[in-house]
């Protein structure tokens, strides 16, 4: 019952494989729906699994504040708590401390902050982050890191990246003490959009040695082209035998382009967040169902889908549900979007296995009109 990654096929830089965990296998490239506060928003866990998701993400920041990591542990861990027996990845909490909490103070030790919920004071250190992730019982855990926005001056980016490296070492030591067999800790590559900093970060992380590596500090406002430019000089120097996780990404076109550049894992709130706001992804791009042109449209989002949300309800009905403020609108569109994302990953995996990724990307680009490569 150990954590391992096996590559099954490659097509150019793109990779198709499987991550093995004690709680189940994860086919890669994989998209992880986000279960921020112990639930994938507006989704039953069975339906999340039925879309084809093999793993979901939980947010350490949200869960440490409410209901609390010790509470979740006392209730049998996050898997049992949220009725999701399959693998769970947790982030370190660092990113959301910096974006959501108030009165943050970052030191060598960690980040002290006040809860955005009740103003209570907390300290998140590399050690405490690992302790929390182990209390939650996460199968794949993240080191605490600092995640600066782009643009950032090179000396500041270097300083921040080196702090994250020191935290990587401390995280690994804490994980060795607290974790259970089969759980895995990923190191996080930082360095903003500077090639030499990314290389330095990666080479030091590989010396520390992790079973997987995350690419952090992207999707922070730099734009798709710049993100792809960073990936172009980052993934080629990453260990081919370890899974690569691009954190917080992204739109379908971001994912397609990153898969083509050798990324294996993704997470994003977009399918559920957009779903709650009336936006549906289709093979031809996103549509906004609150738009008046759908008021009389009796066609479903996808008549041939295996997903009931995509197949069994007209666009006119979805339009109505959002106009009427019915829960069922977000429920159906979150489901549809998660299914769309998993279908996309399925298509990417099949295309890589059959070495026809460039055709797949070409068709995706033609149908969506998106810039991918």
Helices (H), the chain: 45-50, 60-65, 69-74, 78-81, 94-100, 126-136, 154-178, 195-208, 224-234, 252-260, 270-276, 308-311, 315-323, 328-353, 357-368
Under the binding rule (CB under 8 A), the answer on residue 123 touching a second copy is no
* CB contact at 8 A, 235 and 13: yes
Of 139, 254, 264, 267, which residue is the catalytic one? 267
CB 268 to a second copy: min, Å: 18
Under the binding rule (CB under 8 A), the answer on residue 107 touching a second copy is no
Of residues 235-264, those binding a second copy (CB under 8 A): none
Q: Which of 313, 322, 360, 364 binds a second copy (CB under 8 A)?
A: 313
Q: Which of 199, 320, 355, 356 binds a second copy (CB under 8 A)?
A: 320
Of the pair 62, 261, the CB lying nearest a second copy is at 62
Q: Which of 114, 282, 288, 314 binds a second copy (CB under 8 A)?
A: 314
* CB contact at 8 A, 186 and 214: yes
CB 317 to a second copy: min, Å: 5
Under the binding rule (CB under 8 A), the answer on residue 327 touching a second copy is yes
Task: Identify the burial level of 258 via C-beta atoms within 10 angstroms of its C-beta, where 0-12 means exposed, 13-18 middle and 19 or more buried.
Answer: buried
Nearest CA to 117 out of 64, 167, 158, 76 is that of: 64
CB 83 to a second copy: min, Å: 5
Tokens encoding 362: 């070409």
158 backbone dihedrals φ, ψ, rounded to 5°: -65, -45
**Residues sharing a CB contact under 8 Å with residue 151, sequence separation 6 or more, in sequence order:** 192, 193, 222
Q: Which of 295, 366, 367, 371 binds a second copy (CB under 8 A)?
A: 295
Under the binding rule (CB under 8 A), the answer on residue 97 touching a second copy is no
**Residues sharing a CB contact under 8 Å with residue 315, sequence separation 6 or more, in sequence order:** 289, 294, 297, 298, 299, 300, 301
Under the binding rule (CB under 8 A), the answer on residue 151 touching a second copy is no
**Residues sharing a CB contact under 8 Å with residue 137, sequence separation 6 or more, in sequence order:** 73, 77, 78, 79, 88, 180
CB 182 to a second copy: min, Å: 24
Under the binding rule (CB under 8 A), the answer on residue 331 touching a second copy is yes
Choices 15-23, 237-245, 308-316, 365-373 (CB under 8 A): range interacting with a second copy? 308-316
Of the pair 12, 76, the CB lying nearest a second copy is at 76
Residue whose structure tokens are 């007209």 = 314
Active site annotation includes 145: no
Q: Which of 265, 321, 345, 352 binds a second copy (CB under 8 A)?
A: 321
Give the Cα-Cα-Cα angle 125, 128, 133 (nearest 5 degrees). 125
CB 311 to a second copy: min, Å: 10
Report d(CA 219, CA 325) in Å as an integer.
31
Of 91, 139, 145, 254, which residue is the catalytic one? 91
Active site annotation includes 254: no
Choices 122-130, 238-246, 320-328, 356-364 (CB under 8 A): range interacting with a second copy? 320-328
- Residues that bind a second copy (rule: CB under 8 A) add up to a total of 37
**Residues sharing a CB contact under 8 Å with residue 235, sequence separation 6 or more, in sequence order:** 13, 215, 244, 261, 262, 263
Report d(CA 232, CA 79) in Å as an integer.
36
Under the binding rule (CB under 8 A), the answer on residue 330 touching a second copy is yes
Of residues 31-90, those binding a second copy (CB under 8 A): 37-39, 41-44, 46, 62, 66-67, 71, 74-76, 81-83
- Which amino acids are annotated catalytic? 91, 267
Interface residues toward a second copy, by CB under 8 A: 37-39, 41-44, 46, 62, 66-67, 71, 74-76, 81-83, 295-296, 298, 308, 312-314, 316-317, 319-321, 323-324, 326-328, 330-331
């Amino acid at each position: 019952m150990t954590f391992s990654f096996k590559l099954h096929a490659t097509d150019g830089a793109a990779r198709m494989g499987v991550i093995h965990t004690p709680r189940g296998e994860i086919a890669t490239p994989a998209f992880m729906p986000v279960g921020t506060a112990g639930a994938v928003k507006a989704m039953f866990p069975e339906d999340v699994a039925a879309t084809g998701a093999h793993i979901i993400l939980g947010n350490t920041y949200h869960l440490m504040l409410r209901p609390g990591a010790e509470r979740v542990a006392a209730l049998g861990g996050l898997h049992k708590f949220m009725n999701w027996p399959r693998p769970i990845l947790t982030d370190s909490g660092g990113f959301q401390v910096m974006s959501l909490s108030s009165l943050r103070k970052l030191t060598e030790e960690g980040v002290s902050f006040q809860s955005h919920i009740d103003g209570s004071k907390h300290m998140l250190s590399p050690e405490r982050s690992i302790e929390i992730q182990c209390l939650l019982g996460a199968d794949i855990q993240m080191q605490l890191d600092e995640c600066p926005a782009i643009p950032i001056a090179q000396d500041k980016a270097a300083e921040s990246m080196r702090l994250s490296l020191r935290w990587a070492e401390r995280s690994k030591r804490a994980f060795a003490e607290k974790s259970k067999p089969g759980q895995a800790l990923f190191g996080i590559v930082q360095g903003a959009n500077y090639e030499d900093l990314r290389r330095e970060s990666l080479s030091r992380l590989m010396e520390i040695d992790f079973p997987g590596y995350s690419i952090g500090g992207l999707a922070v406002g730099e734009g798709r082209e710049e993100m792809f430019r960073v990936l172009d000089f980052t993934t080629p120097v990453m260990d081919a035998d370890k899974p690569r996780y691009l954190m917080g990404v992204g739109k379908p076109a971001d994912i397609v382009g990153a898969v083509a550049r050798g990324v294996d894992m993704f997470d994003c709130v977009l399918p559920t967040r957009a779903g709650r706001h009336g936006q549906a992804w289709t093979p031809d791009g996103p549509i906004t169902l609150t738009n008046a042109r759908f008021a009389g449209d009796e066609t479903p989002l996808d008549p041939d889908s295996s997903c009931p949300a995509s197949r069994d309800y007209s666009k006119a009905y979805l339009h109505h549900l959002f106009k009427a403020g019915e829960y069922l609108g977000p429920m159906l569109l979150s489901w549809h979007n998660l299914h769309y994302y998993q279908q996309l990953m399925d298509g990417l995996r099949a295309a890589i296995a059959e070495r026809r990724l460039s055709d797949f990307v070409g068709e995706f680009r033609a149908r969506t009109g998106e810039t991918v490569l």
